[in-house]
Chain A
Amino acid sequence: MLYKNEAYFKKQHRLVLRNAGKIDPLRIQDYISAGGYSAIAKCLATMTPQGVIYEVTTSGLRGRGGAGFPTGQKWGLVSRSHNTPKYIVANLDEGDPGVFANRTLAEADPHAIIEGMLIAAYAIGAEKGYIYIRSEYPLAIQTLVKAIAQAKSMSLLGDNILETQFKFDLELRFGAGAFVAGEETAILASVEGRRAMPRPRPPYPANSGLWQKPTLIQNVETLANTPLIIQNGGLWFSKMGTPRCSGTKCFSLTGKVNNPGLIEVPMGTTLREVVFEIGGGVPDGKKFKAVLVGGPSGGCLPETLLESPIDYESLTKVGAIMGSGGIVVLDEESCMVDTARFFTEFCVDESCGKCTPCRAGLARVQEIYDKITTGEGKMEDITTLEKSSTFIRDASLCGLGQTAPNPVITTLRYFKDEYLKHIVEKKCEGGKCFKKVKEAEE
């Protein structure tokens, strides 16, 4: 039982999810009673935009969308841009399969996002903001629509916010079923009404974003941290987590664990703590095999890497990424080759089609996996997979293509024996592959 698992609660530190499950998200009064909107009030009453940026910079907060760019620095870049008007876009496109942190935040505490946007808008000098939310989150959309209406009715959005000169308008924009739309420049294209395809940078959105104006694009989890930073100070935030990676991170923990769900842990927590202490280990007495960190763009890590701390640099070093915080646990009944195939198939479906490596390369990688998992793999296929995946990683235009090969590269690095078994012995330990071949033989 969850309540008996002390670690489940002790090891977590729910800051972004501070109000989740405790307030009625459809009542702005609940949010205010819990201290909500006091941060923006503090900004407007006692702080300059530069002062706000200073606190966020001091906090060490880094983008929670995956790239981990220092948030204060990003705000500074947009704020220094001379062009007007300026815009802010909140990224709620959360497309990774099995990840539901942004969704839960929007459904459980929508005002944390709105307040975060207000703080950012004040800091950078934006008067218009968009929340880009995927259409597949209807409850989150409904909740946000209500929250925005309530905030407007209380002069927390629109003109003369809290009776000051500050004004900020907020609109929702909806995705149309594309994972790639979560990419920074693709989101801009989509908000402008164009096809959601990334474009090369420079120019960077901080200088030339929506309609060629300076635009701040920020993940909603990043924004939800800022009210706390303003209330308690950047220094307070910087003391949590690790020196290079402060604060907490939400993770969607799923797969073969006893306690799946949405968790929030300080940066620096090890994967072992997440899987075995918070997660309660692998159920039914089965043996742990791998942990997938970072969704379809992430790495498949073996038991020997469970001591890795969760921070941007440590994860990149072992071939994984922070991403949007997807952690999937696999046991002995999983097949690592099929796992790489599954994620590759996802990226092939979601590729926008602009650049050769991602569009034309990943499809070939998927075809090779189809062969290997149906008994037609050859040893040369491993070489082809290695060559293609490093090329796709190095030559792709955007993060989708650049990180799509991570499951391929990490499974080849850490689980090569499974590939060899599939190719040479036509055996799949997890029992997932060769089903078509078996059926044909029967």
Chain B
Amino acid sequence: MIVSSVKLKIDGVEVSVPEGTTILKAAKDNGIIIPTLCNMDGLIPYGGCRMCLVEISGSPKLFPACTTPVGPEMQVTTVSDRLKEHRKMVVQMLLAERTHICAVCVANDHCELQALANHLGVDHVMFERNWSNDQIDLTHDFLVIDRNRCILCTRCIRICDQIEGVHTLDLKLRGKDAQVIMDLDEHWANSCSCTSCRKCAKACPVGAIYIESEPIEHTKRKDIAEFILDRRNRK
């Protein structure tokens, strides 16, 4: 199948990528990193965190780079004052939403949200924090979920469904009450579908899902989905 290539400009730099490539991938392949949270290579993009929003010349709107395909002669801006303020807002809203205390968190120093806050200079949150008291599940032998740290990126849900294939994890309720659950809201130890493959812990960008007694830097693997797909396709 012949795929034509598309020429476009990202931050003034002219790039050429196959038709259908997302702006995020086109940028990455040309050395331009757009910040993301819910994106994970190898998983179908979600478009939920809104961290990767970029500007496209000719439109006042903002576009999620992870799901927007490139267009011919597009002029994309990934760095601007407006985008910086937006990214800081995303981080602030996430920090205020549930209970995020870095000093006592298992993911301290290995957390994508913390790293973004640092990188963007989010030195305080303009909102009054909502100190959530959501369910923590410690029933499993070694997998733990602390829903107070969850940013609802659904990387865990997607990797369990799309890579492991068992779809143990999903969401219950909606909006600010949404929670990641196992099967039909079972305790993790009682889940009949979970294979204990630990992919959810590897995929979690923060300290919500982790493995007890394992240093989190050994658990987290942002490339795990892409890695598995790549090996699978080599057969």
* A contacting B, Cβ–Cβ less than 8 Å: yes
B133 to nearest A CB, angstroms? 15
User: Taking the complex as formed, is B69 at the interface, i.e. its CB lies under 8 A from any CB of chain A?
Assistant: yes
Q: Given A353-B171, A397-B47, does the pair A202, B127 have CB atoms closer than 8 Å?
A: no
Q: Please determine whether A367 and B128 come into contact, CB atoms closer than 8 angstroms.
A: yes
Taking a contact as CB atoms closer than 8 A, the residue among A195, A357, A391 that contacts B171 in the complex is: A195
Check B53 against A360 for contact (C-beta < 8 Å): no
Q: B86 in the interface, Cβ–Cβ < 8 Å?
A: yes
* Cα distance A202–B47 in the bound complex, in angstroms: 11
Nearest chain B CB to A381's CB is how many angstroms away?
10
How far does the alpha carbon of A367 sit from the alpha carbon of B176 in the complex, in Å? Answer: 13
| Interface SS of A by simple majority | helix
Interface residues on A, range: 20 to 34
For the complex formed, measure the closest distance between the CB of B85 and the CB atoms of chain A, giving whole angstroms. Answer: 8
- Please state if B174 and A351 are interface contacts (CB–CB under 8 Å): yes
Interface residue A193 (Cβ < 8 Å from any Cβ of B):
no
User: How many whole Å from A357's CB to the nearest CB in chain B?
Assistant: 6
The answer on a CB contact under 8 Å between B176 and A357 is no
Q: B68, B89, B151: which has the most chain A beta carbons within 10 Å?
A: B89
Complex contact A391–B89 (CB within 8 A): yes
The residue among A202, A352, A356, A396 with the most chain B CB atoms within 10 A of its own CB is A356
Chain B CB within 8 A of A7 CB: no
- Is the CB of A286 closer than 8 A to any CB of chain B? no
List the A side residues contacting B97 at CB < 8 Å. 359-360, 363
Residue A178 at the B interface, CB < 8 A? yes
| Residues 339 to 398 of chain A near chain B (Cβ within 8 Å) | 348-361, 363-364, 367, 384, 387-388, 391, 394-397
B36-66, CB < 8 A from A: 45-51, 53, 61-62, 64
Interface residues of B in 104-154 (CB under 8 A from A): 126-128, 130, 151-152
Interface residue B175 (Cβ < 8 Å from any Cβ of A) = yes
CA distance A387 to B151 in the complex (A): 21
Q: Smallest CB–CB gap between B36 and chain A, Å? A: 12
CB distance from B57 to the nearest CB of A (A): 16
Report Cα–Cα, A396/B151, bound state, in Å: 16
CB of A245 to closest CB in B, whole Å:
22
Across the interface, name the chain A residue whose C-beta is closest to B61: A394
B68 touches A356 (CB 8 A): no
6 contacts between A and B (CB under 8 A): A358-B175, A360-B176, A361-B89, A387-B126, A388-B89, A395-B86
Q: Which residues of B contact A (CB under 8 A)?
A: 45-51, 53, 61-62, 64, 67-69, 85-86, 89-90, 93-94, 96-97, 126-128, 130, 151-152, 170-171, 173-178
Add 12 more A-B contacts to A353-B173, A357-B50, A395-B50 (CB < 8 A): A178-B174, A200-B47, A200-B64, A353-B174, A356-B90, A356-B93, A357-B93, A363-B130, A367-B128, A387-B89, A394-B86, A395-B53
In the complex, the 4 A-B pairs of residues with the closest C-beta atoms, listed nearest first:
A353-B178, A351-B175, A200-B47, A360-B93
